[in-house]
Structure 1
Amino acid sequence: MIEVQEQFGMLRPIKDSELELMLSWRNAPAVRENMYTTHEISLAEHRAWWERAESSDRQRYFMYEFQGQPLGIVGFTDLDRENRNSSWAFYASPNAPKGTGSRMEILALDYAFNEFGLHKLCCEVLGFNTPVIKLHEKFGFKVEGILRDQYHREGTFIDIYRLGLLASEWTEVRNVMITKLSRISKG
């Protein structure tokens, strides 16, 4: 796991001094567009959410850092230690370099299955966000269901893709993904 961190970055606790940076990324139009909550979040609303998140044992959020620079957020929600599953999501800084999402995903999956000891990791993606659905599938996620017309936004109903990945499936594709990303990083 250490060699992966050295090559792809690291997940670390979010500092209170980074809450405004985190909020600026979350409020970026390209990020909001792909979230359930699309309004511009106020600092007070963000701080109240952060206080609830930090006090919950069912949520964990991390800053993604690459080459000493904070570049994104990885969050685990609905952590169920008894059933060993969780949901997760991530978003990157609008100025993050190409490949940031893939580097974040490798670290998040390693964290989920090695640190949390999860059996299964899930996520939901709005149906129009095809690049993220395909990204997750590259990492071994399977589409477990499509919730048709599940989400309503601005007069339109949107499908929600529910994806899942088992620890054993991550083990099967992990080294292949690390090798692929290593080549891309060097090239």
Structure 2
Amino acid sequence: MLRSVRDDDLPVMRRWRNHPRVRAASLTTHEIAEDEHARWWAAARADAGRLVLIYDHDGVAAGVVTYSGLRSETPTWGFYLDHDGLEESGRLLRAWIGLERAAIQHAFGPLGLMTLRGVVLADNEPVRLLHRRFGFVEVGTYQQDVDGVPRDVVAIQLRKGQA
């Protein structure tokens, strides 16, 4: 289930985003300070083209789903999970699948999108496999500097009805 972010979610969102595995799979890998996170949250809340939601798994907050470019022709999404909490409870894979399913349903349901796009680092094979499992197609590759290092990035896309 996806739900709105509450103020008390913000500290755990930052902790989850700063997890080493999440940072390693992201396009920005530095540890995010509290003031940077507060600025990001203020900008996200003020931007009508962005939406940030919490994914609840088995009634517990377990991840974050972000949508960007909602007012554009190329809406995108991203996510991250509570790696420590979900691994400790043995629910990481189930939550990961549940989050992806919920994010796609929300995109093509309440948000009314016809196409959903995203990106994944080319060497992040587990995420690429999960996206393919849900019907995403890899539509291009490019290089992007990630903390000064060129990294291969794969663009993915899912059209409504392909999921």
In the superposition, the TM-score normalised over structure 1's length comes to: 0.80
Q: CA shift at 1:158, angstroms?
A: 1.5
- Per the alignment, residue 66 of structure 2 pairs with 75
The AA in structure 2 aligned to 1:31 is: V
- Residue of structure 2 in register with 1:184 after alignment: none
Q: Is the 8 A contact 2:113 2:160 kept in 1?
A: yes
Q: How does 1:1-187 map to 2 (within 5 A)?
A: 10-80=1-71, 83=73, 85-94=74-83, 95-96=85-86, 97=91, 98-147=93-142, 150-153=143-146, 156-170=149-163
2:28–2:146 CA contact under 8 A, matched in 1: no
Q: Name the SS of the counterpart of 1:115 in structure 2.
A: coil
* 1:146 CA drift (Å): 1.2
Q: Residue 75 of structure 2 contacts residue 116 of structure 2 at CA under 8 Å; is this kept in 1?
A: yes
Q: Which structure is larger by alpha-carbon Rg, 1 or 2?
A: 1
- Number of equivalenced pairs: 157
What is the alpha-carbon distance in structure 2 between the residues aligned to residue 23 and residue 155 of structure 1? 23
State how far apart, in whole Å, the 2-side matches of 1:101 and 1:91 are: 9
Letter in 2 for 1:158: R
Distance in 1 (CA, whole Å) between partners of 2:104 and 2:45 is 21
Contact 2:77 2:118 in 1 (8 A): yes
Deviates more, 1:17-26 or 1:151-160: 151-160
Percentage identity across aligned positions?
33
Supply the AA of the counterpart residue of 1:164: Q
CA contact (8 A) 2:29 2:146 kept: no
Distance 1:159 1:129 in 2: 10
Q: Distance in 1 between matches of 2:138 and 2:146?
A: 23
- Which consecutive segments of 4 or more residues in structure 1 shift more than 6 A? none
Structure 1 residue 168: deviation in Å? 1.9
Which digits, 9 at most, give the CA deviation of each residue in 1:28-70, with x for residues without a partner? 1000001111111111110111000001011101101122210
Residue type matched to 1:72 in 2? G
Matches of 2:37 and 2:149 in 1, distance apart? 27
Partner of 2:75: helix, strand, or coil?
strand
Unaligned 5+ runs, structure 1: 1-9, 171-187
CA-to-aligned-CA distance 1:3-28 (integer Å, 9 cap, x gap): xxxxxxx1000101110010000001
